[in-house]
Amino acid sequence: MLDKAGNRFIDPGKVCYTNYEGKYVCTRGPLSIPRTPQVWSVFLQADASDRGREFAARWAEMIFCTPHSKADTFAFHDNIKARMAKYGRPPEACKMLPSFAVVAGETEAIARERHAYLQSLIEPEAQLMLNSSLLGADLSRHRTAEEVARAQGNQGISGSHDRVLQLMEQERLSFAEAASKPRDLLVGTPAAIAGQLEDYFTGGTCDGFIIWLTVSPGMLEEFCRLVVPELQRRGLFRTEYRGATLREKLRAP
């Protein structure tokens, strides 16, 4: 209702109780807040296991992934889009979003210097702890792919596990070496970073990107100040938003 002038938040006579009881979830509604303008939230899937991919193909509107290379991203993209077909969903109904972190600099030398400084801050033990968390197993105790697979307690870390296996194969590393490394970053000038993103986007491997942080909030500020204008000059990034909700923005060309 939201009648501010009448000092009334809601009409109790129009409140519906869900009182849902299912196999795994039961709830007594309603929520204490009005529903959003887009009615239900956008579904973002972030699990690369077979079960997670199937869920994304059937329900998700976006899917997050962390492949090691462009070829790996392309294979993941094709796998999800093929699964969507059997549910009668068009390919554009679920946006494919690989994740990247960037280190941008006004010159290549500045970008490389910033990257070297960030790398110098990494404590090997802390990196091993982080990667252990991502893989779902203690990497100080489990050193091979087989040992880690046996120790993993859930399916939610399949994307990180797949990336380590891809890194092993492509860079000829042992599992322990690949699993202990920090993730690669996009490093370079705004034009160089925009060029790499453009190569992924126009090559049919993805529908957009998730940018994760190295330094908060500085990296996002640098990305918006340096890289976004370059993407806009190339006609790859919007200059204004259409629609008022996230779902409308996803559907806008």
Q: Which two tokens stand for residue 3?
A: 């009648």
| Mean pLDDT within 6-19 | 84
In a domain, 140, yes or no: yes
In a domain, 131, yes or no: yes
65 in Cβ contact with 158 (< 8 Å)? no
Distances (CA, A) of 133 to 57, 62, 91, 98: 26, 24, 32, 20
178 in Cβ contact with 167 (< 8 Å)? yes
143 in Cβ contact with 152 (< 8 Å)? no
In a domain, 168, yes or no: yes
| Domain extent at residue 169 | 123-181
98 in Cβ contact with 104 (< 8 Å)? no
How many domains is the chain partitioned into structurally? Answer: 1
In a domain, 200, yes or no: no
In a domain, 106, yes or no: no
- Provide the pLDDT for residue 36: 81
Question: What does the pLDDT look like over 57-93, one tens digit per residue?
Answer: 999 999 988 888 898 899 999 999 999 999 999 999 9
Q: Which two tokens stand for residue 251?
A: 């559907």
In a domain, 134, yes or no: yes
Residue owning tokens 């969507």: 84
In a domain, 67, yes or no: no
Question: What does the pLDDT look like over 200-234, one tens digit per residue?
Answer: 999 989 999 999 988 889 899 999 999 999 999 99
pLDDT at 171 over 80: yes
In a domain, 170, yes or no: yes
- Provide the pLDDT for residue 235: 95
